[in-house]
Amino acid sequence: VLDERRQLLENMTHGSGFIYSADGYILTNAHVVAEAAAAQQSGAAASRQLVVTLQDGRHLQGTVLCMDK
């Protein structure tokens, strides 16, 4: 169990961003979502989930819509 948790933590990317629209669009830096975006493009999105954690502790599923390089 500890090895699984360690693997999960090693594969996580952390960053900050902010919600800029009432319908939930978030702006963040490209490096924060780069791996998830690449997985989405390759069809392997299930292996690189994008989970957004809000300040109140809620966890929401996210999708990368576009990225600047």
Using one digit for the tens of pLDDT, what is the confidence trace for 46-68? 556 788 888 999 999 888 888 87
pLDDT at position 32 is 82
Cα(3)–Cα(64) distance, rounded to whole angstroms?
29
Q: Please give the model's pTM, rounded to 2 decimal places.
A: 0.62
Q: Which two tokens stand for residue 30?
A: 């490209």
Contact 65, 27 (CB under 8 A): no
Using one digit for the tens of pLDDT, what is the confidence trace for 2-52? 776 666 556 666 788 999 999 989 998 888 888 777 777 777 655 567 888
The DSSP element (H or E) to which 42 belongs, if any, is helix 30-42
**Closest C-alpha among 42, 56, 11 to residue 64:** 42
pLDDT at position 62 is 87
pLDDT at position 23 is 92
